[in-house]
C-alpha cells in the first residue's frame, strides 16, 4: 500500500453536501493507502468560499467532475473536468485558483499557485484515466461565483 498523499481527491456531488466531506474522504484514504487522516485534512481542507464553489459547480453543472487539489503542491485549489465527451482524449482540465472578489483571468497571471498544473494533469491521467496526459489544461483564477458561471458556459471546453 502506498502511504503517499495523492495530488487530488474527487469530490462526489452528494459528498459536498456535508461540511465534513474532507474528513470523511480522509478516512477512506486512510483505509486505502494507510495515510494519516490528519495529514489528508491538512492537505485538502477548505478555506473561505472553497466548499461553496465546489457545491455550486457540482449542483449547477453536473457534467463536471470536481477534484480538490493538494494545497501544498502549487496546482490550484480545484481541477474541473467536463465529462460530457465519452472520449478521454477530448476532455479538457480546468485548473482553478480561487481569488475572492477578483476578476477572472484565463491562462494568465496565475503565478506560483498554478505552477504545477501539468503535473496535476499527469496524475489525473495516470490515476483516473478520465483524461489523457496530453489533454489541454486551462488555468483560471478569480472569484468563485464568477468562475462557476464561466464553467457553466462551457468555457473549459
The model's pLDDT over 48-94, given as tens digits with 9 standing for 90+, comes to 899 999 999 999 999 999 999 999 999 999 999 999 999 999 998 99
Give the distance, in angstroms, between the CA of residue 110 and the centroid of all CA atoms in the same chain: 15
> By C-alpha distance, which of 99, 62, 60 is closest to 78?
99
- Residues of the chain above pLDDT 70, percent: 95
Distance (Å, rounded) from C-alpha 119 to C-alpha 76? 11
Q: What is the mean pLDDT of residues 21-40?
A: 85
Give 29's pLDDT tier (boundaries 50, 70, 90): confident
16 phi and psi angles, rounded to 5 deg? -75, -5
Average pLDDT estimate for 94-107:
93
C-beta separation of 117 from 139 below 8 A: yes
- Number of Cβ atoms within 10 Å of the Cβ of 15: 17
Prediction pTM value: 0.92
Amino acid at each position: 500500500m502506498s502511504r503517499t498523499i495523492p495530488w487530488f481527491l474527487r469530490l462526489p456531488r452528494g459528498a459536498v453536501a456535508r461540511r465534513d466531506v474532507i474528513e470523511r474522504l480522509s478516512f477512506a484514504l486512510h483505509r486505502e493507502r494507510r495515510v494519516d487522516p490528519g495529514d489528508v485534512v491538512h492537505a485538502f481542507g477548505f478555506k473561505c468560499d472553497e466548499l461553496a464553489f465546489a457545491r455550486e459547480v457540482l449542483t449547477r453543472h453536473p457534467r463536471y467532475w470536481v477534484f480538490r487539489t493538494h494545497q501544498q503542491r502549487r496546482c490550484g485549489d480545484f481541477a474541473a473536468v467536463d465529462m460530457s465527451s465519452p472520449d478521454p482524449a477530448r476532455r479538457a482540465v480546468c485548473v482553478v485558483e480561487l481569488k475572492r472578489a477578483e476578476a477572472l483571468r484565463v491562462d494568465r497571471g496565475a503565478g506560483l499557485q498554478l505552477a504545477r498544473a501539468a503535473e496535476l494533469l499527469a496524475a489525473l491521467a495516470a490515476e483516473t484515466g478520465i483524461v489523457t496526459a496530453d489533454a489541454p489544461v486551462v488555468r483560471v483564477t478569480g472569484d468563485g461565483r464568477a468562475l462557476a458561471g464561466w464553467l457553466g458556459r462551457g468555457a473549459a471546453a
